[in-house]
Structure 1
Amino acid sequence: MTLAEQYFAIWNETDAEQRARLIEKTWAPDGTFVDPSFAATGYDELSAIVGTAHGMFPGLRFTVTGTVDEHHDHLRWSWELAAEGQPAVAGGTDVVTVAPDGRIRAVIGFLDFAPAH
């Protein structure tokens, strides 16, 4: 499974214990996430923001769109949030910094479109 696939598996995991295991496998212990809606540092905060997203958008799933770009220790991907077979309700682009051990060190997310909440 690629790092991008692991990342989206975390965002789509509704079971908190399974999500915690995925986060530890995918993120550096002091990893950070920031976008216009959320900011988190470390495993517990990362899991909490994913849980919050599930509460805000029940039944919707995050999927990567297009290809994952990579250079040096950075990745970039675009994503959408939608119910299966339905138009996306949100989408954006994430810029990722990868730690030397291959896990995510930081994600900076940009929203291209999102519902008003």
Structure 2
Amino acid sequence: MSNPVAKIVDRHLKIWNTRDAAERITGIPSTYAEDVVIGEPAVWFSGFAGVECAIKAVHAQMPGMHLAVTGPIQTTGDMSMYTWVLAGKNSNSVVKGRDVITVKHERIISRYVFFDT
């Protein structure tokens, strides 16, 4: 049986890996809830504008970066967890971590980021 959250995570990754801001902004409402919360260790973002702000910050720090899932998506109820890697232009791993997301009505309502490196 496939995990239905995988399609949502795929949309999420596509948005984070898109360089064109207009294209990202168009995709955000179909992937995230309007009042989505993104919690990172040093900063919190909320809403559609917060998602775009978080993405722009990562792209500014690491131009040419690429985010990819590195393991299975584990789901319990409406919460899912997966590991990921953020690689630079040269495909070398820059940051590894895991996300815990909550999904409702096929949209991410919360995303908590944990860094491994």
Superposed pair shares fold, TM > 0.5: yes
The alignment partner of 2:93 has SS state of coil
Aligned to 1:104: 108
Q: Deviations over 1:1-34 (max 9, x none)?
A: 7011111111111111110121111000000101
Structure 1: which 5+ runs fail to align? none
The alignment partner of 1:22 has SS state of helix
Does residue 69 of structure 1 match 2:43? no
What are the equivalent positions in structure 2 for 1:1-117 lying under 5 Å apart? 2-83=7-88, 86-99=91-104, 101-113=105-117
What fraction of aligned residue pairs are identical, expressed as a percent?
A: 29
Q: Which sits farther off after the overlay, 2-11 or 34-43? A: 34-43
Taking only aligned residues, the RMSD between alpha carbons, in angstroms, comes to 1.4
Structure 2: which 5+ runs fail to align? 1-5
The alignment partner of 1:36 has SS state of coil
The TM-score normalised by the length of structure 1 is 0.89
Q: Distance in 2 between matches of 1:68 and 1:50?
A: 22
- The count of residues paired between Structure 1 and Structure 2 equals 112
Q: Distance in 2 between matches of 1:80 and 1:38?
A: 19
Contact map agreement 2:73 2:80 (CA 8 A) in 1 = yes
The alignment partner of 1:66 has SS state of coil
Q: What is the letter of the counterpart of residue 30 of structure 2? A: K
The TM-score normalised by the length of structure 2 is 0.89
